[in-house]
A and B are shown apart, each in its own frame.
Chain A
Amino acid sequence: MNTLQDLRATLDQHAAGVSDDLAIARVGAVTGRARVVRRRRAAGVGTAAVVALVTAAALSALPGNRDVAPARAPDSLTSLGWTYRLADTLRTGDDRVREELERSELPRLVSWSTTGDDQQVVVRFNGETWTSELADFGDFVWVPPNFGGEMTISGAAGLTMATYELDESVIPPGVGSGAATFREDVAGRELVGAAVGDLGQAELIVPVDAERGTLWLAHTCEGMPSRGYEVRIGVVGESGFFSSGDSCTSGSGFDPGGRPNLGTPGPWGPGASLRITVTRGGQVVPEGTLSDLRLGLAAYASSADLVVAAGHDFPRVIEHAGKVWQLDHVAEGAGAQLPRVTVPDDGQYVVANWVVASPQTPYVLSVDGSTEDQVWVSGIGASGSGARPVGPGQDLGLEIRGDEEDITQAALVLYQRVD
């Protein structure tokens, strides 16, 4: 038989475990919801009056005169299986809106609608420029965790901006917990093994179905101190390890499977397991030493999903900026014949590149004749830049700032958005 004391203690204990992490953001979220409610109410109140005006409005609403009320922001948007809830809306009626996004530990989406004929908008954020013709909340810009800064949307008339925040209660299928879930599917790659450890656990063994060749690995080591410790990943039963590092770049721990970046040599046959450890001075840290540490490791199978260009493996499908992109065009060149490509007029595209050259050779990506920041080829004689957005009709090219003979191979690869 329990007592009332037991009951009170149980309630107090579980209530005490609730951390109010969203307190600061709550007012903004609530006022955003209130605006939505008020807009709905206003729409309801206005219905009768609108009926009387329908005939006159129909006469004036000729094709090409898209002077209508802004679309209602949907309550939620999805990105790569994650759900984001509407947190705030801002209707300006102008052709330009600017918002200062404060840094947030969780990712956000910013979407928009327009009321004019021209639905093309340009969004600038975090040094990138996105062009979109998918108005009325059909497109978004993904704001990564721990990012903030100024975002501007410009172009079309009657802009309304809506901000969405990650809903951590709706988790895509996968392995893990909450936002730190390894998704089952990442850019078409299938999850073939994953585990997330308990707090303080410094070693994890992860059985994998490793008979299908190269695996792509993703890991999280949230809570590992930034100095003096190292994460090592290897195959159980084999000496050595094929990955080590002294930093955890997963930030908030959100979507750890979204960054699989290590291709392993496999296959290793049935019964293979991977091992991830946190070490200090070459020795595995005793369990519980790092009380805030949360280790996780996942392996994704790739099935001939790579295209080789300039000696580099480019995946046919990638995830970038909260969206899925499919390889659309490859341009290769060498020496004086460096690759050039024109971005198609339809759809959204990002471009990636790879250059094989003498170490320290400088080169730049040019966009419509303007050059981006100069890059130097690394000491191993090859370098590349990941996906970056490009606009419709833009002419892209690689330009070398050294001797042409230094370049042995180069590639520009266009990806088109497909989700």
Chain B
Amino acid sequence: MTTMTIPGRPVVGSPGFEEFVAARSARLLRTAYLLTRDHGLAEDLLQTALTKAYLVWGRIEGDPEPYVRRIAVNTYASWWRRKWNDEHPTDRLPDTGHHDERVGESGDLWDALGRLPRRQRAVVVLRFFEDLTEAQTADLLGISTGTVKSQTSKALAKLRIDSSLVGEEGTR
């Protein structure tokens, strides 16, 4: 950790921001990890979202967490991959499309989640990890509830999950 203790240095912290980061960022980091599946990228995504929020901190009304989550998810879903795809080395071969997109009976759900398109993965994380309703998910992603339903349905099909079950617990 780096701290500056130079006398006279301007105070740059916004009231409440540090407390928010301390109290809430662990949960946001987990969401970022489920989206990026990489600890370093998750931290970078979270810091990117927090930086954007920090710059307008005084103008955020109410609970900042949904705002930060919205930034993180949309950053991930839009330019995240474009920004990092060519820069981030990996010890795994990239997905090349030869996988069976549907996970097998004994298939690993985590691997299958990793093969979902970004938008579908975001919908799954928001709906089934964050427990957001379809309406909340739609609002957060800036898409219609119909799109949330269709993206969810496609994602669950690829994960070999009976989508009829979603209606029972998932249309909140």
List the interface of chain A (C-beta within 8 A of B).
Answer: 1-4, 6-8, 10-12, 14-16, 18, 20, 22-31, 33-35, 37-38, 87-88, 90, 92, 97-104, 108, 163, 165, 167-171
Instruction: Assess whether A27 is in contact with B18, with CB atoms less than 8 Å apart.
Output: yes
- Given A12-B129, A20-B25, A169-B40, does the pair A6, B161 have CB atoms closer than 8 Å? yes
Instruction: Assess whether A26 is in contact with B124, with CB atoms less than 8 Å apart.
Output: no
Q: Of B33, B87, B109, which is in contact with the most chain A CB atoms at under 10 Å from its CB? A: B109
Instruction: Assess whether B54 is in contact with A2, with CB atoms less than 8 Å apart.
Output: no
Q: Which residues of B contact A7 (CB under 8 A)?
A: 109, 124, 128, 156, 159, 161
Choose from A3, A26, A92 the contact partner of B50 (Cβ within 8 Å): A26
Instruction: Assess whether A169 is in contact with B39, with CB atoms less than 8 Å apart.
Output: yes
Instruction: Assess whether A27 is in contact with B17, with CB atoms less than 8 Å apart.
Output: yes
Q: Of B2, B55, B109, which is in contact with the most chain A CB atoms at under 10 Å from its CB? A: B2
Chain A: CB-nearest residue to B43? A22
List the interface of chain B (C-beta within 8 A of A).
Answer: 1-6, 9, 12-13, 17-18, 21-22, 25-26, 29-31, 33-34, 38-44, 46-48, 50-51, 54-55, 87-89, 103, 105, 109-110, 113, 124-125, 128-129, 156, 159-162, 165-166, 169-170
Q: Of B38, B44, B48, which is in contact with the most chain A CB atoms at under 10 Å from its CB? A: B44
Instruction: Assess whether A102 is in contact with B38, with CB atoms less than 8 Å apart.
Output: no
Enumerate 12 A-B pairs (CB-CB under 8 Å) in ascending A order.
Answer: A2-B109, A11-B129, A15-B33, A22-B43, A26-B46, A27-B13, A28-B2, A30-B21, A34-B51, A38-B55, A103-B1, A169-B88
- Given A26-B21, A28-B3, does the pair A4, B39 have CB atoms closer than 8 Å? no
Instruction: Assess whether A35 is in contact with B160, with CB atoms less than 8 Å apart.
Output: no
The answer for the CA separation of A243 and B4 in the assembled complex, in Å, is 42
The answer for the CA separation of A169 and B84 in the assembled complex, in Å, is 11
The answer for the CA separation of A103 and B1 in the assembled complex, in Å, is 7
Instruction: Assess whether A2 is in contact with B103, with CB atoms less than 8 Å apart.
Output: yes
Q: Which residues of A contact B160 (CB under 8 A)?
A: 1-2
Contacts A33-B47, A34-B55 supplied; 17 other A-B pairs, CB < 8 Å: A1-B105, A2-B103, A2-B161, A3-B161, A11-B129, A26-B47, A28-B3, A30-B54, A31-B54, A33-B51, A37-B51, A37-B55, A100-B3, A101-B2, A104-B1, A163-B2, A169-B39
Instruction: Assess whether B128 is in contact with A8, with CB atoms less than 8 Å apart.
Output: yes
Instruction: Assess whether A27 is in contact with B21, with CB atoms less than 8 Å apart.
Output: yes
- Given A2-B159, A10-B109, A104-B1, does the pair A26, B125 have CB atoms closer than 8 Å? no
Instruction: Assess whether A108 is in contact with B2, with CB atoms less than 8 Å apart.
Output: yes
- Given A1-B105, A11-B125, A30-B21, does the pair A18, B30 have CB atoms closer than 8 Å? yes
Instruction: Assess whether A23 is in contact with B21, with CB atoms less than 8 Å apart.
Output: yes
Instruction: Assess whether B4 is in contact with A90, with CB atoms less than 8 Å apart.
Output: yes
